[in-house]
């Protein structure tokens, strides 16, 4: 087989896929990509805990080939070659022992040592969801990873029931709860997947508006037209969060704040940051006509921010939380205003978009004194 492909078009696709290929793994084939010519289509696939397959026409990725065939090549080395070249066309000549790549005056020869076939899982259709709802939920879940403040629970809880899709992520101090409507529901599921699935939002952006969710013995699959991403399922315990959600339904105190104003106050409070850059606790005093955000560090001193506001809270309340975590959470919220809800200083703090959007996102962060 002699295959000629548009370098720029192939590079654009590999840029999305390369981010999800592990640099270290016990299975060498997980570092490789499979490219197959199937008559008028180019089929690109990977294997591992996150599997990808995309079927591209010659209009999407211009190519020509003298025959059908396939080859497997180390994606990161292949990507570097494409990225550093300015050739318009890449010519690939795979044989049993060598994969030869020609770009203008450059010739590369890879040892043909890895071979895998894309395994087509037996899929059961679960539901249809909106692409943007899925992306927004994953971005919300990812917010508690920012700064690696606390060891991340390596699981994402994915539940579909009663025409609702619920996606949750948690670490030792925070819970991100997202819920949105399914377009069509065929079957309920309640499973866990790896947290590295949260990095798939760029791939989902290349999908059509509606995404089909499928279940198989080992994978949860997201499919749209000729593209599919499969995430390996985990047979592990995910902490129960129902009680925290029920507490929210009986919440006592709520204040509404301008998102930009509150974020700026947090950022100014972080100016005098302690040596532990990922952890900085703040104290939020809530009064009827204002809130006061204070930080304290032994090394540099204190900060105090006053934000005028009106609320129905009569008594004085003091809340304590990690400013870095709250900042990361708030930045993912899409509305101009945000809602802070709480019972007291011993109970979790709930952070939501206000007014409520199509996605119900409840961000629960534990309170603690710094």
- Asked if domains 3-111 and 248-365 share a fold, the reply is yes
Question: Residue 292's pLDDT is what?
Answer: 95
Question: Residue 366's pLDDT is what?
Answer: 65
Token pair in block for residue 277: 């850059």
Alpha helices in the chain (DSSP H): 7-18, 75-84, 131-142, 201-204, 242-249, 259-269, 323-331
pLDDT greater at residue 353 or residue 6? 6
**For the residues 3-18, what does the mean pLDDT come to?**
94
> 41 pLDDT band (50/70/90 cuts)?
very high
Nearest alpha-carbon partner for 45 in 37, 53, 55: 53
Question: Residue 35's pLDDT is what?
Answer: 96
Place of tokens 């204002």: 290
Place of tokens 């071979």: 115
Question: Residue 33's pLDDT is what?
Answer: 95
- 98-103 and 124-130 strand pairing: unpaired
Using DSSP's 3-state secondary structure scheme, residue 370 falls into coil
Contact 320, 282 (CB under 8 A): yes
> Using the 8-state DSSP alphabet, how is residue 217 labeled?
S
**For the residues 355-364, what does the mean pLDDT come to?**
72
Question: For residues 132 and 305, what is the distance between their CA atoms, to the nearest angstrom?
Answer: 35
- Measured at the CA of 84, the angle between CA 79 and CA 90, to 5 degrees, comes to 65
Q: What is the CA radius of gyration of the chain?
A: 25
Question: Residue 359's pLDDT is what?
Answer: 63
Question: Residue 133's pLDDT is what?
Answer: 94
Question: Residue 24's pLDDT is what?
Answer: 75
Percent of the chain residues past pLDDT 70, beyond the cut: 93
Q: Reply yes or no on whether the pLDDT at 325 is more than 50.
A: yes
pLDDT greater at residue 320 or residue 241? 320
CATH number, span 248-365: 3.10.150.10
Percent of the chain residues past pLDDT 90, beyond the cut: 56
Contact 361, 324 (CB under 8 A): no
Cis previous bond, 355, omega within 30? yes
Q: What is the mean pLDDT of the chain?
A: 87
Question: For residues 7 and 289, what is the distance between their CA atoms, to the nearest angstrom?
Answer: 61
pLDDT digits (tens, 9 = 90+) for 281-292: 899 999 988 999
Using DSSP's 3-state secondary structure scheme, residue 332 falls into coil
Angstrom distances, CA of residue 8 to CA of 1, 29, 159: 21, 25, 39
- Measured at the CA of 179, the angle between CA 178 and CA 183, to 5 degrees, comes to 140
Question: Residue 274's pLDDT is what?
Answer: 61
Nearest alpha-carbon partner for 30 in 53, 50, 54: 50
Ramachandran angles phi, psi of 148, nearest 5°: 50, 40
Angstrom distances, CA of residue 156 to CA of 183, 185, 190: 21, 21, 11
pLDDT digits (tens, 9 = 90+) for 216-274: 999 999 999 899 999 999 988 787 777 777 777 778 888 999 999 999 999 998 888 76
For the chain, the domains span 3-111, 124-232, 248-365
Please identify, in words, the CATH class of the domain defined by 124-232. Answer: alpha beta
Question: Residue 236's pLDDT is what?
Answer: 81
pLDDT digits (tens, 9 = 90+) for 113-153: 999 887 778 999 999 999 999 999 998 888 766 544 334 45
Question: Residue 349's pLDDT is what?
Answer: 87
Question: For residues 345 and 366, what is the distance between their CA atoms, to the nearest angstrom?
Answer: 9
Residues 147/148/152/155 CA torsion (nearest 10 deg): 60
pLDDT digits (tens, 9 = 90+) for 144-197: 665 443 344 578 999 999 999 999 988 766 788 899 999 889 999 999 998 889
Question: Residue 248's pLDDT is what?
Answer: 77
Question: Residue 150's pLDDT is what?
Answer: 36
pLDDT greater at residue 363 or residue 17? 17
Question: Residue 279's pLDDT is what?
Answer: 58
Question: For residues 139 and 137, what is the distance between their CA atoms, to the nearest angstrom?
Answer: 5
Question: Residue 370's pLDDT is what?
Answer: 45
Question: Residue 368's pLDDT is what?
Answer: 55
CATH topology of domain 3-111: DNA Polymerase III; Chain A, domain 2 (3.10.150)
């Amino acid at each position: 087989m002699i295959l000629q492909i548009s370098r720029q078009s192939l590079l654009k696709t590999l840029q999305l896929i390369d981010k999800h290929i592990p640099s270290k793994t016990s299975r060498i084939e997980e570092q490789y990509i499979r490219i197959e010519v199937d008559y008028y289509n180019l089929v690109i696939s990977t294997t591992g805990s996150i599997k990808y397959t995309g079927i591209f026409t010659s209009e999407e990725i211009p190519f020509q080939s003298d025959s059908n065939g396939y080859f497997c090549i180390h994606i990161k080395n292949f990507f570097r070659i494409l990225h550093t070249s300015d050739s318009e066309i890449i010519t690939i000549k795979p044989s049993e022992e060598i994969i030869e790549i020609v770009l203008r005056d450059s010739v590369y020869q890879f040892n043909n040592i890895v071979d895998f076939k894309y395994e087509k899982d037996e899929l059961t259709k679960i539901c249809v969801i909106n692409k943007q709802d899925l992306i927004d939920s994953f971005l919300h879940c990812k917010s508690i990873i920012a700064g690696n403040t606390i060891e991340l629970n390596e699981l994402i809880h994915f539940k579909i029931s009663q025409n609702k899709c619920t996606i949750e992520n948690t670490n030792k101090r925070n819970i991100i709860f997202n819920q949105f409507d399914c377009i069509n529901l065929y079957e309920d599921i309640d499973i866990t997947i790896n947290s590295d699935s949260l990095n798939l939002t760029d791939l989902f952006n290349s999908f059509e508006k509606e995404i089909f969710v499928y279940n198989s013995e080992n994978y949860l699959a997201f499919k749209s037209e000729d593209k599919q991403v499969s995430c390996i399922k985990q047979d592990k315990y995910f902490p129960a969060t129902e009680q925290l959600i029920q507490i929210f339904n009986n919440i006592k105190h709520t204040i509404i704040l301008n998102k930009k104003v509150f974020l700026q106050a947090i950022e100014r409070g972080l100016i005098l940051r302690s040596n532990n850059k990922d952890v900085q606790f703040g104290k939020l005093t809530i009064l009827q006509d204002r809130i006061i955000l204070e930080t304290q560090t032994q090394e540099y001193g204190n900060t105090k921010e006053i934000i005028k506001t009106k609320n129905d809270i009569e008594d004085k309340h003091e809340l304590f939380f990690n400013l870095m975590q709250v900042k990361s959470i708030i930045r993912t919220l899409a509305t101009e205003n945000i809602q802070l809800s709480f019972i007291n200083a011993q109970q979790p703090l709930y952070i939501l978009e206000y007014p409520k959007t199509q996605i119900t996102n409840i961000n629960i962060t534990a309170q603690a004194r710094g």
